[in-house]
Amino acid sequence: MVSKNENLLISTLLGRDVISLNADNTIYDAIYLLAKNKIGALPIVKNQKKLCGIISERYYS
Protein backbone atom coordinates (compact mmCIF):
# COMPACT_ATOMS: atom_id res chain seq x y z
CA MET A 1 0.00 0.00 0.00
CA VAL A 2 1.32 3.39 -0.95
CA SER A 3 1.39 6.16 1.62
CA LYS A 4 -0.35 9.44 0.86
CA ASN A 5 2.82 11.26 1.89
CA GLU A 6 3.60 13.72 -0.93
CA ASN A 7 7.31 13.61 -0.04
CA LEU A 8 7.60 9.83 -0.41
CA LEU A 9 10.51 9.01 -2.71
CA ILE A 10 10.08 6.40 -5.42
CA SER A 11 13.37 4.84 -4.34
CA THR A 12 11.75 3.79 -1.05
CA LEU A 13 9.21 1.69 -2.98
CA LEU A 14 11.66 -0.07 -5.25
CA GLY A 15 13.54 -3.25 -4.51
CA ARG A 16 17.29 -3.42 -4.94
CA ASP A 17 17.38 -6.47 -7.22
CA VAL A 18 15.94 -5.64 -10.62
CA ILE A 19 14.59 -8.53 -12.65
CA SER A 20 15.19 -7.85 -16.34
CA LEU A 21 15.78 -9.61 -19.64
CA ASN A 22 18.10 -9.01 -22.53
CA ALA A 23 16.60 -8.04 -25.87
CA ASP A 24 17.71 -11.38 -27.36
CA ASN A 25 15.74 -13.50 -24.86
CA THR A 26 12.57 -15.26 -26.01
CA ILE A 27 8.97 -14.38 -25.20
CA TYR A 28 8.86 -17.69 -23.31
CA ASP A 29 11.66 -16.41 -21.06
CA ALA A 30 9.62 -13.29 -20.34
CA ILE A 31 6.41 -15.20 -19.58
CA TYR A 32 8.31 -17.56 -17.29
CA LEU A 33 9.95 -14.74 -15.30
CA LEU A 34 6.70 -12.78 -15.01
CA ALA A 35 4.88 -15.83 -13.63
CA LYS A 36 7.71 -17.09 -11.43
CA ASN A 37 8.21 -13.71 -9.76
CA LYS A 38 4.53 -12.72 -9.71
CA ILE A 39 5.23 -9.43 -11.43
CA GLY A 40 3.38 -7.58 -14.18
CA ALA A 41 6.22 -6.16 -16.25
CA LEU A 42 9.91 -6.59 -17.06
CA PRO A 43 12.45 -4.06 -18.30
CA ILE A 44 14.23 -5.20 -21.48
CA VAL A 45 17.85 -4.13 -21.77
CA LYS A 46 20.63 -4.21 -24.34
CA ASN A 47 24.20 -5.02 -23.30
CA GLN A 48 23.05 -5.54 -19.70
CA LYS A 49 22.56 -1.82 -19.07
CA LYS A 50 20.64 0.26 -21.64
CA LEU A 51 16.86 0.13 -21.37
CA CYS A 52 15.27 -0.56 -24.72
CA GLY A 53 11.71 -1.40 -23.66
CA ILE A 54 9.30 -2.88 -21.16
CA ILE A 55 7.23 -6.00 -21.68
CA SER A 56 4.13 -6.62 -19.61
CA GLU A 57 1.74 -9.47 -19.09
CA ARG A 58 -0.73 -7.61 -21.33
CA TYR A 59 1.68 -8.05 -24.25
CA TYR A 60 1.02 -11.77 -24.54
CA SER A 61 -2.46 -12.15 -23.03
- pLDDT at residue 1 tops 70: no
Q: Which H/E stretch holds residue 44?
A: strand 41-46
Encode pLDDT of 3-56 as tens digits.
577 788 888 877 778 899 999 999 999 999 999 999 999 999 998 789 999 999
pTM above 0.85, yes or no: no
Given a contact cutoff of 8 angstroms between Cβ atoms, the answer to whether 57 and 40 are in contact is: yes
Q: How many CA atoms lie within 13 A of 22 on its CB side?
A: 5
- Which pLDDT belongs to residue 45? 95
Given a contact cutoff of 8 angstroms between Cβ atoms, the answer to whether 55 and 42 are in contact is: yes
- Which pLDDT belongs to residue 55? 94
Task: Sketch out the chain's domains with CATH numbers.
Answer: 18-60 (3.10.580.10)
Amino acid of residue 34: L
Greater pLDDT, 9 or 2: 9
Number of H helices, E strands in the chain: 2, 3
Greater pLDDT, 2 or 58: 58
